[in-house]
A = this chain, B = another copy of it.
Amino acid sequence: MTVEVKSAPPPLTARQEARRRRILHASAQLAGRGGFDAVQMREVAESSGVALGTLYRYFPSKIHLLVATMQDQLEHLHSTLRKRPPAGESAAERVAETLMRAFRALQREPQLADAMVRALTFADRSVSPEVDTVSRQTTAIVLEAMNLPGPPTPEQLAAVRVIEHTWYSTLITWLSGRASITQAGIDIETVCKLIDLTGPAGRDGPADPHYRR
């Protein structure tokens, strides 16, 4: 018997790729106005010119669809960020700057952000692999912003995880109207100080972390 863990998905034909794109586009479109609730599976199917059953073949649930939409958007964001890397002095500053930039990007499409983030946090175990991909993408973005000279230490990875937790959580509280953008910014800056805490102890850390006060 052939054991085939992590079997690669069969490559999609051009038409299939196109369908997939149309679906993701329709999803983002509908989410853009109306947010989570406006992304109705029948609507997505119709706007992307695909039968409902087919939609479910490509994305086994609404949550899967929206998480995939998030992956898609994150890729855009990532490549945008790569073009103009953050300029801060310390790693903490650069990370905070990057996250705030991402925040402003989401601010321009709050409904889309709402749909994606709600899906992400509502996802149950059946969506773990996809959510994990999103998590890895986020980690990659943060690590890139830190611009470390070498591989991150375990402490730094721990700090990054906490930063991500905070990032998504502030996003949620902002989206549900329980915190202002300002508040979110403060929280992001607060958590980024953790980097300075691990940094100097790391291999050779950021240049001259000047603590205020």
Chain A residues engaging chain B, CB cutoff 8 angstroms: 36, 114, 118, 121-125, 127-128, 131-132, 135, 155, 158-159, 161-162, 164-166, 168-170, 172-173, 176-178, 186-187, 190-191, 193-194, 197, 201, 213
Bound form: Cα–Cα A190–B131 in Å: 23
Output the least CB separation between A170 and chain B (Å).
Answer: 6
| A122 near B125: Cβ-Cβ < 8 Å | no
Copies of this chain present in the complex amount to 2
Bound form: Cα–Cα A186–B193 in Å: 17
Q: Which residues of B contact A159 (CB under 8 A)?
A: 190
Bound form: Cα–Cα A159–B162 in Å: 12
| A190 near B186: Cβ-Cβ < 8 Å | no
| A165 near B161: Cβ-Cβ < 8 Å | no
| A190 near B176: Cβ-Cβ < 8 Å | no
Bound form: Cα–Cα A22–B155 in Å: 47
Q: Which residues of B contact A178 (CB under 8 A)?
A: 128, 131-132, 135
The one of B177, B190, B201 in contact with A194, judged by C-beta atoms closer than 8 angstroms, is B190
A122-B122, A166-B165 as given contacts; A190 in contact with B158, CB under 8 Å:
yes
Bound form: Cα–Cα A212–B138 in Å: 29
A131-B176, A166-B169, A213-B201 as given contacts; A193 in contact with B190, CB under 8 Å:
no
Residue of B nearest to A201 (CB): B213
Bound form: Cα–Cα A168–B125 in Å: 17
A193-B194, A193-B197, A194-B194 as given contacts; A162 in contact with B176, CB under 8 Å:
no
Bound form: Cα–Cα A121–B114 in Å: 11
Interface centre among A114, A118, A135, A176 (most CB of B within 10 A): A176
Interface centre among A162, A176, A194 (most CB of B within 10 A): A162
